[in-house]
Amino acid sequence: MTKYSVIKLRAFQFTSITYRLVFACLMAAVVIYGGSYYQMRSLLQQVMTGWVKQIAMSKLDAIAAKHQSSLHLLAEQASRLVQTDERLYLADQNGLTVILPVSPYVSKIAISSDIKAKDQSFGWQVDTKGQSWQSIASDDELLKSCSVVNGQHYWSRHIRTQELVFCTGWFMHGQATQSIAILINMQPLLQDLQSNLHLIDEVDHSVQGHPYVKNQLTGNFMLRSEFIPQDISTRSAEGAGEGGSIHFKRQLQDMPLVYGFYFPEAEFQAYLGKYFMIMIFSMGKDMLLMCIAIALVSRQTTRSLRSLSKSTEEIAQGNLDTELTKIPRSDEVGRLSRSFRRMRDSLKLHILELQEATAARQRMESELAIAAQIQQAMLPSAEAAIDPRYSVSTLLQPARVVGGDLYDFFHVADERICMVIGDVANKGVPAALFMARTLSLMRTLAHQSSSPAALLFAVNRELAHNNPECRFVTMFFAMLDLKTGLLQYASAGHDAPLLFRDGQVSKLVLETGPALGLEEEASFPQFEIRLLAHDIVVMYTDGITEARNLDNEEFSEARLQTTITRQAPAFAADIIRCVTLAHQQFIAQAPQFDDLTLLSMQFHPQAKRRKPAFADWQISLNGQPLVYDQVRPCLAGLLQAQQVSEDVVDDLQLITEEVLVNVLTHGATDKDPASIRLDVHLQESAVVLDVTDNSHAYNPLHGVNEPDLEVDFADRPEGGLGLYLVSALADQIEYHYAHGQNNLHIRKFLVKP
């Protein structure tokens, strides 16, 4: 969508329902009236044309009939006059008036008679007041305009435009006895036609349309305005004429006169446009009134909604005690108000319950965190292996805060160590409690048992007794004689460990007994094997081998053996690291459903015995002496007090641990116990960590590259995965050796640049 389109859309976003409704009303009017504009104009033109035609034709017919009747009456009176056989009677004014009353249409009468006196003629004209006849001399010119044949009457033209001559005569025995010529004055008729044959505009009272009269004897117009074409009489005349004009005409019966009405196109379109605009104005006024009515009704309807909106904004800001406006109505607005009221009350109750649940969950999480710390404290760390004739590396990663897997290793005699790994059924707090009980029994009864089978038998009887929930744990237990290398072991439903010897991986021969806690008198077969120098025993739980990826593929025991074989690790810790990395790459984003536990032990029969390793190290953090286990929490407390983010704190803890393990593993010698000094400096944009030790010169960064899991461990440069992890987490890292000390300068930015 373009920026211009977004601007147009925003222009039609209204802040009020009232505005939206009014706008919709106006748009509907525009669409409806705009779409029907030509239809309305065409319909109006048809209606107006029909109306004009009806009115004009009715007036034209009425006037034509009236004039035709008057002229016909005059013709009948003239016919009776010419048949009178008393010439003296006609010469008398009173006698003439009886037969031919004074008419406004008659201007002059010429009479020729030979009944009494041959070739005598005389004439009459209307007096100046138009009330009587006045005798005049014989009008030969008027008589000459008539030529009566066989007593027929007809109309003749006159020299003046607005006058006609009516001619008639009386014949006896084939000879004319009397003839009369009557001069008709058309002026009154034309005035009557002009006064009545038109339309009156009701808006401005103007006169519309133009009448005309044409004399067919002369071909001239007796009445015509300038808007009437000269050839009007030759055009068609029943309704609409050419170009949108309106034209009607009537031929007077037995008379040489044509009456017509003409409405020019320009005048008619102006006349039509005037009424069309009146119609548009009327509809616009109605639409405006409708929009006003909609606006008033909408504002009245939305007044309660506006009040309700303000109250809900208060609720949205957390003020659940705000008072909602009461709307005592049964329509949608009233129901909405009552629904909001119920929602507010339910929300208050829900928040109260949520607060209580949150507090309870926080207490539970706190208790679980404490339980997890206690559980971790119960398990020995790899550094607890104080005898140089063996080394141990471990991993325990619960699926929840606390888990049910367990491992342990401890001395039961000067030359014997015990190793145990187990998996409690189910997970969570109950499993963790059962695991704690099992570890406690193992350590207590191990000193009283002479063999792994005897120990498992004693622990099983204690766990199975008074176990109504039928909780159980699978376990592998082994005893190693450090002097002879003899490894004795037994299993209670647990998978057989792996033995890594001379680059090959194999499973220990094993026949397992039932899980601990199910049968009080169960027995557990015991096996033994003699370890050689540098042999590594790998113990694991099914959380490793039964883990699944997003494609529901299982990691499997075969994949575990293949991973160890390909990597050919040289140390026990390397097995833990390569298996963990391969496992993480395999499951990828799939969730963890079970606890993950690994324990690897490597036998070093030729190593000399020395004091516990950590007792030889002198560790200090910013000048404060510490033991190894105190370094991580002290570092975290120091950084958190300076408001350093949790992510940076976690990274620095991991970096510090890997650096210390590297120095402890590779930098110390029996002849030269090392001391380690940690100095932490908080700068404006970074945390600087300086690690100094006085062991022999050793550059931990030499040859540190991204690990390739396809390459054998023996072919990798010294430093391994741990130092690569340090290089990946640190933003800057430098090493130098001076004055008999190794110096490692590490910088971690507070915010990524």
CA distances 106 to 34, 184, 185, 241, 687, Å, are: 60, 5, 6, 36, 131
Say what the pLDDT of residue 617 is: 66
* Cα dihedral 29→31→33→37 (10° resolution): 170
| Three-state secondary structure call for residue 78 | helix
Residue 360 has pLDDT above 70, yes or no: yes
**Residue with the larger pLDDT of the pair 241 and 123:** 123
Domain residue ranges in the chain: 379-607, 611-752
- Round to whole Å and give the CA distance between 699 and 306: 73
Residue 574, CB-side half-sphere exposure with 13 Å CA sphere: 22
298-343 pLDDT, tens digit each: 777 777 777 777 777 777 777 777 777 677 777 766 777 777 778 8
Query: Is the Cβ–Cβ distance between 103 and 132 less than 8 Å?
Result: no
Q: Please list the alpha-helical segments (H only) found in 496-571.
A: 542-545, 557-567
Say what the pLDDT of residue 94 is: 61
Residue 258 has pLDDT above 80, yes or no: yes
* DSSP symbol at 224: -
The model carries a pTM of 0.43
The dihedrals phi and psi of 111, each to the nearest 5 degrees, come to -125, 135
Residue count of the chain, please give it: 753
Cβ neighbours of residue 97 under 8 Å, at least 6 residues apart? 132, 133
Give the count of beta carbons closer than 10 Å to the beta carbon of residue 725. Answer: 18
- Round to whole Å and give the CA distance between 724 and 74: 136
Say what the pLDDT of residue 599 is: 93
Long-range contacts made by residues 249-255, C-beta under 8 angstroms, separation at least 24? 249/60, 250/60, 250/61, 250/64, 252/64, 252/67, 252/68, 252/71, 253/68, 254/72, 255/68, 255/71, 255/155
| Three-state secondary structure call for residue 271 | helix
DSSP codes joined into one string, 350-386 = HHHHHHHHHHHHHHHHHHHHHHHHHHHHHSPPGGG--
- Round to whole Å and give the CA distance between 390 and 602: 5
For a pLDDT cut of 90, what percent of the chain falls above it?
13
Confidence of residue 247 (pLDDT cuts 50, 70, 90): confident
- Round to whole Å and give the CA distance between 717 and 457: 47
Torsional sign, CA 100, 103, 105, 109: positive
Mean pLDDT lowest among 42-56, 97-111, 244-258: 97-111
Give the count of beta carbons closer than 10 Å to the beta carbon of residue 402. Answer: 26
Say what the pLDDT of residue 589 is: 87
Cβ neighbours of residue 324 under 8 Å, at least 6 residues apart? 308, 311, 337, 340, 341, 344
Say what the pLDDT of residue 492 is: 93
Please report how the helices 646-662 and 720-729 are oriented relative to each other, as an axis angle in degrees rounded to 10: 150
Q: H or E element: which one contains 290?
A: helix 265-316
- Round to whole Å and give the CA distance between 600 and 32: 86
Residue that the structure tokens 């025991």 belong to: 557
Mean pLDDT lowest among 91-105, 323-337, 406-420, 669-683: 91-105
Range from 14-28, 191-205, 732-746 that averages highest in pLDDT: 732-746
Query: Is the Cβ–Cβ distance between 626 and 558 less than 8 Å?
Result: no
Mean pLDDT lowest among 80-89, 93-102, 614-623, 671-680: 80-89
Residue 89, CB-side half-sphere exposure with 13 Å CA sphere: 11
Say what the pLDDT of residue 555 is: 92
Beta strand pairing status for 618-621 and 675-682?
A: parallel
Mean pLDDT lowest among 231-240, 398-407, 483-492, 682-691: 231-240
The dihedrals phi and psi of 15, each to the nearest 5 degrees, come to -95, 0
Cβ neighbours of residue 450 under 8 Å, at least 6 residues apart? none
Query: Is the Cβ–Cβ distance between 90 and 106 less than 8 Å?
Result: no
pLDDT (average), residues 678-696:
85
For a pLDDT cut of 70, what percent of the chain falls above it?
76
Say what the pLDDT of residue 537 is: 95
Amino acid at 91: A
- Round to whole Å and give the CA distance between 419 and 411: 9
17-41 pLDDT, tens digit each: 777 777 777 777 777 777 677 777 7
* DSSP symbol at 252: P
588-607 pLDDT, tens digit each: 888 888 888 999 999 988 76
In the sheet with 526-530, reading across from the earlier edge strand, the strands are: 405-413, 416-424, 473-481, 486-492, 526-530
- Round to whole Å and give the CA distance between 114 and 401: 152
Six token digits for residue 634: 């002290």
Report the greatest alpha carbon distance in the chain. Answer: 191
Say what the pLDDT of residue 609 is: 47
**Residue with the larger pLDDT of the pair 644 and 203:** 644
CATH 1.20.1090.10 for domain 611-752, yes or no, is no
Task: Please give the mean pLDDT across all residues of the chain.
Answer: 78
- Residue 750: which of 613, 651, 606, 621 has the closest Cα? 651
Residue 680 has pLDDT above 80, yes or no: yes
| Three-state secondary structure call for residue 629 | helix
- Round to whole Å and give the CA distance between 422 and 595: 11
Query: Is the Cβ–Cβ distance between 421 and 495 less than 8 Å?
Result: no
Rounded to an integer, what is the distance from CA 284 to the centroid of its chain? 36
CATH number among 1.25.40.340, 3.40.50.300, 3.40.50.2300, 3.60.40.10, domain 379-607: 3.60.40.10
Confidence of residue 177 (pLDDT cuts 50, 70, 90): low
Residue 120 has pLDDT above 60, yes or no: no
Phi-psi region of 394 (alpha: psi -120 to 50; beta: other; left: phi over 0): beta
Query: Is the Cβ–Cβ distance between 96 and 135 less than 8 Å?
Result: no
Mean pLDDT lowest among 140-154, 383-397, 499-513: 140-154
Burial of 39 (0-12, 13-18, 19+ CB in 10 A): exposed
